[in-house]
Amino acid sequence: MQMLFGTGRDGAYPDLVFTDPLTGLGNQRRFFSRIARLISDRAEDPAPFAVGIVDLDGFKPINDLFGRGAGDEILLQVAMRLRAAMDSHSSVVRFGADEFAFLLPMVFSEEAAAEKARMLIEVLSAPYDLGQRSARLSASAGCSLFYSGDETTELLVDRAETALYHAKASGRGRVVVYTREMEEAAKRVTHIEQALRRAVSAGEVEPFFQPIVDLRSRRILGFEALARWTDPDLGAVSPSVFIPIAEERGIIGALTELVLRKSVEAARDWPKHLFLSFNLSPSELVDLNTGLNVITTLNQAGFDPHRFEAEITETSLMTDPVAAEKILDDMRGAGIRISLDDFGTGQSSLGRLREIRFDKLKIDRAFVTSILHDKPSEHIIRAILAMCEGLAIDVVAEGIEEKDQAARLIEFGCGGGQGYLFGKPANAIDTLLLLRSAAARGGS
Ligand code: C2E
Ligand code: MG
Ligand code: MG
């Protein structure tokens, strides 16, 4: 009977309801019905089994660059490869746009599931033939195991999705098998998400401002806005925790609107020669409305866009380069300057500096921290400075904490600096006080 798993019909429904029209594989519905049947089969025979979801990394850019036809062709080839990689017990379906799911009735352990998933990922990493050209893609996978009758179909699939999420978050081409700790982490994320939703609609996220200075004179040139949030239960939550959650759970638009509005309202009271720098998240650089939303908020607050800088990271340009370029063009058209944040840590590509004109580049703290003791960091900083000079891009070194780091950066010709040495992020009122005392000293 087990042979039927790979090819047979599921119940009384016509085949079409269970079939993906593009690849001819089963669809999500078929997957769920197969798992449900296997769970009921295993009621008397408590042997474990595994399910997994595999997701193609970077499939959307392929669609955009090569066209939908090429995207479909790749999906067909993926389907063929996966089908060929299944043994007679196992089966694969198309689970979503670029997701495929597999059911492994004869896999009894986490190690065996991971091994099988790694094999599938290997199979998918070979080049795809697209007629005139070929494309390469990696894939990530998440698996979960059925151990007892308490586990439902939905639970198994949810867990595989959680594992897949962890696989994708840890880089491309990874396999992760679901564990209990993931469930705890997932619960914490949901808790933060709910608290953040409430805080955003109550307007409780605040911008703090950190000075960016001219390194030689130490005069303040402008400020970077950094979001701060303190929840009554959770306490102060770091933006490096809540920003990614806001992005993933679709809160980032409302969060940005709130923090941006508060930032420009505060910055209106500063001397006119100071700029405001604001971070935009990767997910905002795929939303075509972002540029216009930012411009509208500036206009409504009466803040001159020429005094505004948008900080973006290299990674954020990669998800959808076409959309990102349009958004940057919109902003540049209004006079907004574009700053490349955390330079040197992400997927750095010098080619990108040629394709996109940045007004400013921020050298990541990691290089600045080690500048005094690590020759490679020193060389990298000098090379970045020479390159920016040639390209006429302003430079700001981030995370300067010590005088000697600042001195060394000045020696190398770095113009701008930011870090605890010059000032920690402070709220709007303290920032105004700082500016007043700087003005009284004849500083800024
Ligand atoms: P980032 O844009 O690279 O911001 C610089 C981070 O370095 C800030 O961390 C700042 O507080 C910290 N920092 C500055 N000087 C020093 C120093 O001398 N030493 C050390 N150890 N750290 C220093 P923060 O505020 O925790 O923000 C972390 C990241 O969260 C930011 O990195 C940015 O990517 C993101 N973020 C913060 N606010 C927002 C926001 O409003 N929107 C978006 N999309 N992202 C934000
Ligand atoms: Mg930044
Ligand atoms: Mg940075």
* Nearest partner of 291 among 331, 333, 336, 334, judged by Cα: 331
The Cα–Cα gap between 144 and 51 comes to: 6
**Measured in angstroms, how far is the CA atom of residue 313 from the centroid of ligand 1?**
12
Highest mean pLDDT (candidates 10-14, 165-169, 347-351)? 165-169
Best substitution site from 279, 341, 343 to test ligand 1's pocket, by max atoms within 8 Å of Cβ? 279
Distances (CA, A) of 173 to 75, 135, 138, 317: 17, 16, 5, 20
**Measured in angstroms, how far is the CA atom of residue 18 from the centroid of ligand 3?**
48
* Nearest partner of 364 among 395, 321, 337, 319, judged by Cα: 395
Residue ranges of E strands in 303-384: 308-312, 337-343, 360-363
Average pLDDT over residues 210-216: 98
Q: Which residue has a Cα nearest atom 41 of ligand 1?
A: 227
Give the pLDDT confidence score for residue 443 in this predicted structure.
56
Domain with CATH 3.30.70.270 in the chain: 15-178
pLDDT band at 1 (very low <50, low <70, confident <90, very high): very low
Q: Is the pLDDT of residue 131 over 80?
A: yes
- Angle formed by the axes of helices 68-84 and 110-124, to 10°? 140
- Ligand 2 is an ion; residues with CB less than 5 A from it: 279, 311, 341
- Element (H or E) spanning 177, and its range? strand 175-177
- Angle formed by the axes of helices 239-248 and 252-267, to 10°? 130
Distances (CA, A) of 296 to 45, 227, 257, 300: 63, 20, 10, 6
3-class DSSP assignment, residue 230: strand
Q: Which residue has a Cα nearest atom 33 of ligand 1?
A: 279
* Nearest partner of 357 among 397, 402, 325, 398, judged by Cα: 325
Give the pLDDT confidence score for residue 311 in this predicted structure.
98
Query: What pairs with residue 397 in β-bridges?
Result: 363, 417
**Measured in angstroms, how far is the CA atom of residue 226 from the centroid of ligand 1?**
6
Domain 189-440 fold is: TIM Barrel (3.20.20)
3-class DSSP assignment, residue 30: helix
- The ligand 1 atom at the shortest distance from the C-alpha of residue 418 is 15
- Angle formed by the axes of helices 180-201 and 252-267, to 10°? 50
- Please write the tens of the pLDDT for every residue from 316-334: 888 888 999 999 999 999 9
Nearest listed ligand to the Cα of residue 316: 1
**Measured in angstroms, how far is the CA atom of residue 342 from the centroid of ligand 3?**
4
Q: Which residue has a Cα nearest atom 45 of ligand 1?
A: 279
Distance of alpha carbon 161 from its chain centroid, rounded? 17
Number of residues written out for the chain: 444
Look up residue 32 and give its two tokens: 């769920």
Distance of alpha carbon 55 from its chain centroid, rounded? 16
Domain with CATH 3.20.20.450 in the chain: 189-440
Whether residue 174 contacts residue 186, with contact meaning beta carbons closer than 8 Å, is answered with no
Average pLDDT over residues 144-166: 92
Ligand 1 binding pocket, CB closer than 6 Å: 210, 225-227, 238-240, 243, 259, 279-281, 311, 341-342, 365, 398-401, 418-420, 425
Average pLDDT over residues 108-116: 96
* 274 or 14, greater pLDDT: 274
Antiparallel, parallel or unpaired: β 308-312 and 275-279: parallel
**CB-based contacts of 77-85 (< 8 A; 24+ apart in sequence):** 77/128, 77/129, 78/23, 78/124, 78/128, 79/22, 79/23, 79/24, 79/25, 81/123, 81/124, 81/126, 82/25, 82/54, 82/120, 82/123, 82/124, 83/25, 85/119, 85/120, 85/123
Give the pLDDT confidence score for residue 40 in this predicted structure.
93
Antiparallel, parallel or unpaired: β 175-177 and 138-146: parallel
3-class DSSP assignment, residue 337: strand
Give the pLDDT confidence score for residue 5 in this predicted structure.
39
Question: How is domain 15-178 classified at the architecture level of CATH?
Answer: 2-Layer Sandwich (3.30)
Q: Which residue has a Cα nearest atom 42 of ligand 1?
A: 279
